[in-house]
Structure 1
Amino acid sequence: MVTIFVLLVFVLSEAFLSAALSGSNHTVDILRNQIAQLSNVLSLQKTKIASLNDELASLNAALSAEKSQNASLTSQLASAQANAADSAKSVANLTASQQQLQAQLSDAQAEANAAKSRIAALQGEVAAPGGGDALAQAQNDLATQKSISEAALNQVNLLNQQIAALRMQLAVIAQALDAAAAKDKADNVQIVDLGKQLNAALAQKVEDLQAYRSEFFGDLRKALAGEPNIKIVGDRFVFESDVLFPVDQATLTAQGQQNIADVAKAINAIAGKIPATINWVLSVDGYADQQKITGGPYRSNFDLSAARALAVLHLLIADGVPENRLVAAGFGAEHPISAGTTPQDFAQNRRIEFRLTSAD
């Protein structure tokens, strides 16, 4: 009897251990699936971040080039303005010198006229004794004044030539300043035009994609007609999670798999119609409510929303949607569409959203 009892205890212990090990293996499998799903999310986010970094680097390079060109133009403009200021100062100085020499020339001419008058007066006294000496002195004085007048006139002519040369330099500088201002204005106009063209191109792409988005939503609405918990909100097709998943789980129900198959069918039908020039993706976004997780393998609402988004993404791939046309993300309890705290509000916030959007 003791032997039989010992054997019975041994058999029961082995059964309990087998059950425990089976449960542990199941938990390990779930955790591995979660790790794989989160790795996929991380890979997608890294790819998206790398793309955004490349775009940012390109924009920074273009901005640096524009700043460098603007700095060069500013430096050239400042140099030209400094040269213009120096030339204007030189003209002012030469003009002052010209005025001073003109005054000297006027004084010399006045003295020459006075000497001529004196000679005329002395010519009447030539016949008188000593008159010849006085006339000779007056003639010498006149010759001296003429010499002074000619020297002053030569200086005035030289100054006039220098002023004319400086005015020509000022005209050249003014032309250079006008050309620099015109080029700066043209560059600004070109930048504005490029910005307008870019905005127009982006708007056209969005408009083109909007037409296919409307067709996609129309086909999806027909396929899912009669489902009260599936609706369109803005540019998103919203599935309440209760339609697709059990509570606190990321495994799709049979009905959920059928609904996702309808989504895949609609996106595959529209994919061939979208031109190759439109770089589009179907974004799969997972959301949760604010209630704490009470069961299952997930530690937070963020983990649960990400796992559900990935589960839907993998099923879409299995149903034939190209992998490069899909992105997934989990947002946890962020961005609720209902601000209340009733069970109905929580049900609306537990959701999967689909958005047909541009990947650029």
Structure 2
Amino acid sequence: MKLQKQETAEKEDELEDVSRRLNTLLAERVNQLEQYQSEFFSRLRNILATNENIRVVGDRFLLPSELLFASGSAQLGDEGKSELDKLAEVLLDVVAAIPGDIDWILRIDGHTDLIPINTQQFPSNWELSTARAVAVVRYLAAQGVPERRMVAAGFGEFFPVASGTTPDALQKNRRIELKLTDR
């Protein structure tokens, strides 16, 4: 019985040690990703700073839909492609420096205002916001950004950044958000 208690205590000590080492490794990886996020964020902020329409909120870039798409459309316009070309250039530079064993993604979120859309192509704001996010992902993939490192999500009108129905509030809520994060 005493031997069994001793073996159990030794196993628990071993497990605790393994757990400590794993937590340390995980923390190191998180710190590494945060360094690349910071570099990406800083470089992108400098490059996109000339466009007063692009806002930075926390760890996300918010691009107004009007910059990328015509009203009610998920087809990228020339001005939007130009801005996405700048983004792709920075992203590809940063991607080249991120070690392969860091599991990161670029999350592209589509958002609409609260005015409902109901067309054959877009029966709701969810479809429109998702199609816009997918259009950005496809465009960035065509510029060489690894497809397996991107995700598109559509949020419709459900996560506004501005309240109310003023033209300014509606415009702020129609956006694409970009975030470099862990998977």
1:256 aligns with 2:56: no
1:233 aligns with 2:65: no
Q: Match for residue 30 of structure 2?
A: 206
**SS of alignment partner, residue 329 of structure 1:** strand
Give the TM-score normalised by the residue count of structure 1.
Answer: 0.47
Q: Match for residue 265 of structure 1?
A: 89
Q: Match for residue 223 of structure 1?
A: 47
Q: Match for residue 162 of structure 2?
A: 338
Contiguous gaps of at least 5 residues in structure 1 = 1-175
Residue 272 of structure 1 deviates from its aligned partner by: 1.2
- 1:25-83 deviation per Cα after TM superposition (whole angstroms, max 9, x unaligned): xxxxxxxxxxxxxxxxxxxxxxxxxxxxxxxxxxxxxxxxxxxxxxxxxxxxxxxxxxx
Contiguous gaps of at least 5 residues in structure 2 = none
Give the TM-score normalised by the residue count of structure 2.
Answer: 0.89
Structure 2 Cα separation of the partners of residues 195 and 218 of structure 1: 34
Structure 1 or 2: more strand by fraction: 2
The count of aligned residue pairs is 183
Contact 1:282 1:355 in 2 (8 A): yes
Structure 2 Cα separation of the partners of residues 187 and 355 of structure 1: 42
- 1:200-257 deviation per Cα after TM superposition (whole angstroms, max 9, x unaligned): 2222112111111111112211221222221222222221212211111111121111
Q: Match for residue 188 of structure 1?
A: 12
- Percent identical: 40
Contact 1:249 1:296 in 2 (8 A): no
Residue 268 of structure 1 deviates from its aligned partner by: 0.8
Q: Residue 123 of structure 2 is aligned with which of 295, 299, 306?
A: 299
**SS of alignment partner, residue 11 of structure 2:** helix
**SS of alignment partner, residue 228 of structure 1:** coil
Q: CA RMSD in A?
A: 1.9
Contact 2:118 2:124 in 1 (8 A): no
Structure 2 Cα separation of the partners of residues 247 and 287 of structure 1: 13
**SS of alignment partner, residue 97 of structure 2:** coil
Give the residue type in structure 2 aligned to 1:182.
Q
Structure 1 Cα separation of the partners of residues 166 and 16 of structure 2: 51
Higher mean C-alpha deviation, range 194-203 or range 219-228: 194-203
Rg comparison, structure with higher value: 1
Contact 1:236 1:353 in 2 (8 A): yes
Contact 1:248 1:296 in 2 (8 A): no
Q: Match for residue 152 of structure 2?
A: 328
Residue 278 of structure 1 deviates from its aligned partner by: 1.4
Structure 2 Cα separation of the partners of residues 333 and 234 of structure 1: 20
Residue 188 of structure 1 deviates from its aligned partner by: 3.1
Going from structure 1 to structure 2, the CA distance change for 1:244 and 1:184 (only over 3 Å counts) comes to same
Q: Match for residue 283 of structure 1?
A: 107
Going from structure 1 to structure 2, the CA distance change for 1:185 and 1:337 (only over 3 Å counts) comes to farther
Structure 2 Cα separation of the partners of residues 344 and 202 of structure 1: 43
Q: Match for residue 135 of structure 2?
A: 311
Contact 1:284 1:352 in 2 (8 A): yes
Give the residue type in structure 1 aligned to 2:83.
N
What pairs up with 1:1-360 in 2 under 5 angstroms? 176=1, 178-293=2-117, 297-359=121-183
- 1:63-116 deviation per Cα after TM superposition (whole angstroms, max 9, x unaligned): xxxxxxxxxxxxxxxxxxxxxxxxxxxxxxxxxxxxxxxxxxxxxxxxxxxxxx
**SS of alignment partner, residue 133 of structure 2:** helix
- 1:98-146 deviation per Cα after TM superposition (whole angstroms, max 9, x unaligned): xxxxxxxxxxxxxxxxxxxxxxxxxxxxxxxxxxxxxxxxxxxxxxxxx
Structure 1 or 2: more helix by fraction: 1
